Structure 1
């Protein structure tokens, strides 16, 4: 029989999320389930449903903490690198390194799908916006003549490319060409993209 009332809500939430994170340190989310989590923490599955409403929301809470850790890794680079171009290179490298260090947690952030009709909660959207703001701020620092809408589009485009290189690195697809590695590809991407960005004028590039 599952234990009840052993933890207050905050303690219970920490217990659950820490256990899921520990599991994802070693194995992918595809091997995890609500019932398995309940068994690991010694509670009935119904307690998890009562707390998180559904399995998807529990995973979204895990993803939020992963993004918090990612931001905690990237944010200090704003002070370390005052030059926006150097900072962007550092952010890209740190992003890839974070994903390679915690591949299952990182992958869950992007593979997790919300149930049909469910919108991304504000607290999760805020975290996503923070990540892209780091990139957009670097672009603005390099060229403030481009308007905010185009800057955000370019930040999304650029980071989608960084994300793709990171994904290939995790899938070990880069080993098909022994002359390349993720960091070299990131530098090549940024070198070429930023060359055009720094010379951009007006509202459109």
Structure 2
């Protein structure tokens, strides 16, 4: 029988999120189950649904937690990086996170958030941490007259890196005979930044 009063609601929410993220990393989005999360924490699936409302809302919260983890990862990658190597550190950080936390990374893109669920403001703020880091670094290499374009340009560059990373992890680049997807992604990023007036290696 599931426990019903061992934790406060806040404690229970934190427990579900931690357990859910661990399960997501272990089995991936396709095999993720709120019932398995409930089983692992010793509560009923009904309790999990009462806390989060739906499986979709739970996955949104887990993926938002992953965004925070990813942002911290990038911050660590940037620590100690020389000015001329910070963009490279960002791109490398993207590839490394995706390859080392593959199921968590994939779940962000595999889950489609239903309109009825949406993303609550506090979770949207969690998710924005990653793009804030990227935008800050992109703005730092752009000339003054182009800095107001940093946010939009950053979204495009993330999409470019994501595409290269997806092809790399999915095996498409290997089938094409491409041996160094990271180098290819880095070259495209540098080309785009130079085209926008940035001075990058």
Evaluate the alpha carbon distance shift between residue 117 and residue 18 of structure 1 in structure 2; reply closer, same or farther with a 3 A threshold: closer
Evaluate the alpha carbon distance shift between residue 30 and residue 79 of structure 1 in structure 2; reply closer, same or farther with a 3 A threshold: closer
The count of residues paired between Structure 1 and Structure 2 equals 198
Correspondences of 1:15-164 after superposition (within 5 Å): 15-81=15-81, 83=83, 85-143=84-142, 144-148=144-148, 150-164=149-163
* Whole-angstrom CA distance in 2 between matches of 1:51 and 1:122: 17
The structure richer in helix per residue is 2
Structure 1 residue 198: Cα displacement: 2.0
Aligned to 2:169: 170
Aligned to 1:182: 181
Evaluate the alpha carbon distance shift between residue 151 and residue 5 of structure 1 in structure 2; reply closer, same or farther with a 3 A threshold: same
Please give the TM-score of this superposition, normalised by the length of structure 2: 0.88
* Whole-angstrom CA distance in 2 between matches of 1:37 and 1:118: 20
* Whole-angstrom CA distance in 2 between matches of 1:61 and 1:128: 10
5+ long unaligned stretches in structure 1: 201-205
CA-to-partner distance for each residue in 1:59-96, whole Å, 9 max, x for gaps? 1121121111111111244442351x521110111111
* Whole-angstrom CA distance in 2 between matches of 1:142 and 1:199: 5
Please give the TM-score of this superposition, normalised by the length of structure 1: 0.86
Evaluate the alpha carbon distance shift between residue 5 and residue 187 of structure 1 in structure 2; reply closer, same or farther with a 3 A threshold: same
Evaluate the alpha carbon distance shift between residue 29 and residue 159 of structure 1 in structure 2; reply closer, same or farther with a 3 A threshold: same
Structure 1 residue 188: Cα displacement: 1.6
* Whole-angstrom CA distance in 1 between matches of 2:69 and 2:92: 15
CA-to-partner distance for each residue in 1:148-190, whole Å, 9 max, x for gaps? 2x22111111111111111112212121133432211222212
| Runs of 4+ with >6 A deviation | none
* Contact residue 93 and residue 186 of structure 1 kept, 8 A: no
* Whole-angstrom CA distance in 1 between matches of 2:168 and 2:154: 21
What is the root-mean-square deviation in Å for CA atoms of aligned residues? Answer: 2.1
DSSP 3-state at the match of 1:194:
helix
5+ long unaligned stretches in structure 2: none
* Contact residue 88 and residue 138 of structure 1 kept, 8 A: yes
